[in-house]
Amino acid sequence: MALKLNDKFLNGYISKEDIDTISGEVYAAQSLLNSRTGAGNDFLGWIDLPVDYDKDEFARIKDAAKRIQNSCDVFVVIGIGGSYLGARAAIEFVKSPVYNNIPGKKTPDIYFAGNSISASALNDLLKICEGRDVCVNVVSKSGTTTEPAVAFRVFRALLEQKYGKEGAKDRIFATTDKAKGTLKKFSDENGYETFVVPDDVGGRFSVLTAVGLLPIAVAGIDIDSMMKGAQDARDAYTKANIDENDCLKYVAIRNILLRKGKSLEILAAYEPAAQMLCEWWKQLYGESEGKDGKGIYPSSVIFSTDLHSLGQFIQDGTRMMFETVLDIKKSNDELLIPFDPDNVDKLNFLSGKDLDFVNHTAMLGTLFAHTDGNVPNIVLELEDRSEYSFGYLVYFFELACAISGYTLGVNPFNQPGVESYKKNMFALLGKEGYEELREELTKRIK
């Protein structure tokens, strides 16, 4: 098993009775999901995705990834939210947060665009692309999201100018709805190769579809092994008994903590490579649970870095949070601390020790400190940073998120709140059909 939940650092916050009391609700939420009768039940394709995926498309993804690897120096992935976070999380977690700068790397540099409306971000990337061969993967299920659509306009123009319309078509890959939508229509008309975001898989649950798999494969990551990890997690978490099912246990503990006033969850990892994984997790839980005035606010830290910033608040500030600590058991690297004959920094007691050992000791020290400071800690022990473990962890978090959402009593698969800013932005930008709202908003800022 690649993942194990350690509940030794909950600091007495969770009793056996608490678990017994909530377990009925958690089982009910699990059955609601499995019977496919709950809210949002048309978005449950991710449940069986690790075993029931389009094998032909999977082969096409691998083939396209090889062509992209052979034909470009820079691969630009355009998408926002669930349309880019999973891919970026996987690449940084499995490879490196400085993947683009890995010496001797044989795969293209990968950049992510269309996830903000910043002119500087887009211009900086255009400069990076100057004089280099570029391929683009535009990822948008709806095909109409403003941020990626604007970035795609910019990069399409760049590619058409550089390679001509014919040349550009072999360098543009679109991941979108299988039949409908502007992007699908436009891609077919222009001859771009397309990949599918299945109808029944929402953006934030789509990392194991072409949305995540194409960029991940371009980075040289073994996507078969990633799927295998997800498959094994799917098998492991079908067990109904909460004592044998860490996924249900995670759901139970976080919901008990919420009911005891802990409305903020901090995902803490001790590897900078997990930073984007935390971003992916925050989107998954934030968009899935935060609605109808409910939910646990998802936040994240990278330790020990953030022990020198947010660490103070976690130890000593308003007691509103619990932590979920990702303990990666095996490091990708070994680095022995050198001996200093002058011992200027008085650190010779560490010389010869592996830095990962020190990192783990810092984790243990922090676990004791934070639990003493009345912050309950759930520890998720992950075997390593392999693609297999990544797939396993992704499935664990997705399944827990869905069951937790049902336990909370929300529809985990919609995101109605995301529309509010869009409406206002369109009205203020003068989009047709938004005249009334524009008038109302203009009055408010006068």
Q: Which residues bind ligand PA5 (CB under 6 A)?
A: 80-83, 140-142, 145, 148, 202-204, 287, 415
The H-or-E segment that residue 139 falls in is: strand 134-139
Is residue 218 within 8 Å of 90, Cβ to Cβ? no
Euclidean distance between CA atoms 266 and 48, whole angstroms: 29
Name every residue whose Cβ is closer than 8 Å to that of residue 132 and which is 6 or more positions away in sequence.
72, 73, 74
287 in active site: yes
Q: How far is the CB of 114 from ligand PA5 (least distance, A)?
A: 9
Euclidean distance between CA atoms 207 and 210, whole angstroms: 8
- From the candidates 287, 289, 323, 387, give the one annotated as an active-site residue: 287
360 in active site: no
- From the candidates 8, 308, 346, 446, give the one annotated as an active-site residue: 308
Closer CB to ligand PA5, residue 193 or residue 323? 193
Closer CB to ligand PA5, residue 142 or residue 304? 142
Closer CB to ligand PA5, residue 139 or residue 382? 139
282 in active site: no
- From the candidates 239, 260, 294, 422, give the one annotated as an active-site residue: 422
Helix (H, G, I), strand (E, B) or coil at 171: coil
Q: How far is the CB of 142 from ligand PA5 (least distance, A)?
A: 3
Euclidean distance between CA atoms 61 and 223, whole angstroms: 10
For ligand PA5, which residue has the nearest CB?
203
Q: How far is the CB of 126 from ligand PA5 (least distance, A)?
A: 21
Q: How far is the CB of 357 from ligand PA5 (least distance, A)?
A: 38
Q: What angle do CA 29, 30, 35 make, to 5 degrees?
A: 100
Helix (H, G, I), strand (E, B) or coil at 283: helix
Residue type, 188: D
Euclidean distance between CA atoms 112 and 93, whole angstroms: 15
Q: How far is the CB of 152 from ligand PA5 (least distance, A)?
A: 10
Q: How far is the CB of 254 from ligand PA5 (least distance, A)?
A: 20
Is residue 34 within 8 Å of 247, Cβ to Cβ? no
- Residue identified by tokens 């970026």 is 88
Query: What is the Cα 29 distance to its own chain's centre?
Result: 23
Query: DSSP characters for 180-235?
Result: -SHHHHHHHHHT-EEEE--TT--GGG-TTSHHHHHHHHHTT--HHHHHHHHHHHHH
Closer CB to ligand PA5, residue 141 or residue 262? 141
Closer CB to ligand PA5, residue 239 or residue 422? 422
Tell the burial category of 276 from Cβ atoms under 10 Å away from its Cβ (0-12, 13-18, 19+): buried
Euclidean distance between CA atoms 107 and 100, whole angstroms: 9
Residue type, 353: K
- Residue identified by tokens 């795609």 is 152
* Catalytic residue IDs: 287, 308, 422
